[in-house]
Amino acid sequence: MTAREAQAVARIAGYGYLTIFVLAILANFFVLGPLGVRGDAAATAANIAASEPLYRAGVAAFVVVLIADLVVGWALFVTLLPAGAHLSVLMLMFRAAYTIAHIGVVLSLLGALSFATAPAWVDALGAGSPVLAYHFLASHGLGFKVTLIFFGVHLLLLGTLIARAPYMPTAIGWLAGAAGVAYLADGFGTILLGSYGAYASAASAVVIITAITGEGALMLWLMIRGVNKALYPESSRKPSI
């Protein structure tokens, strides 16, 4: 692959990242987030039922995010292959594992919608139907944190590859790796502790700031620069292990 081709593929990764950022933020914070009422299953189910078209649009946005995730994973693999063939394959595998696991998490959103709106479930279960709708919506948030463990490993591998690649900024590699550590700590913390108690807001802020800094810097570099073409090894040279 030539440096020009690598730059084009890297920019595909950058714009794919932008797609993920925009759609995930819209779906999480402007569609699904406002519908959930903590501790109130009836109100949550009523909100979902009242906003069904918007809710479905949010689920569709997550599906597009999953597609974009795979495209970004492929583009990063191709871009960073010269920095380490084996690590690049492992990096791609962990991103694919995260994406596949996330499919099941997104399916829980459709479960919440069914229990909130489907007459068969609502009539048969009565007061139990909103409880199940609330459970499946809450399961999305919990399941997403668990899948981010795989994504955190992906970012650690990605950061290592970027730091090793002379045609990518080392600082961005360290920032991506730091985001990976934050995701890992948050995911395992959720599993082992269940809740951070009074420190929940602070813990969330650390993860969000670290992720936005690391992944945001990577996204901007990929979109604007792609790779440093002067330092990119041409295809005549074998990738390192």
Sequence-ordered list of residues with C-beta below 8 angstroms from that of 87, at least 6 positions apart, any chain: 157, 160, 161
pLDDT tens, residue by residue, 69-115:
999 999 999 999 999 999 999 999 999 999 999 998 999 999 899 88
**pLDDT of amino acid 236:** 39
Q: What is the mean pLDDT of the chain?
A: 89
* pTM for the whole structure: 0.88
User: What 8-state DSSP symbol labels residue 125?
Assistant: H
Q: Of the candidates 47, 26, 51, 24, which has an alpha carbon nearest to the alpha carbon of residue 36?
A: 47
Confidence of residue 173 (pLDDT cuts 50, 70, 90): very high
Q: What angle do CA 224, 100, 44 make, to 5 degrees?
A: 95
Q: Of the candidates 202, 226, 182, which has an alpha carbon nearest to the alpha carbon of residue 76?
A: 226
The values of phi and psi at residue 228, to 5°, are -80, 100
pLDDT tens, residue by residue, 12-29:
999 999 999 999 999 988
Whole-angstrom Cα Rg for the chain? 20
Give the type of residue at 3: A
CB 112 within 8 A of CB 192: no
Cα–Cα dist 204/190, whole Å: 11
Span of 138-142, 187-191, 192-196 with lowest mean pLDDT: 192-196
Percent of the chain whose pLDDT exceeds 90: 59
Six-digit token pair at 196? 């951070």
Percent of the chain whose pLDDT exceeds 70: 94
Give the type of residue at 217: A
Give the 3-state secondary structure of residue 110.
Answer: helix
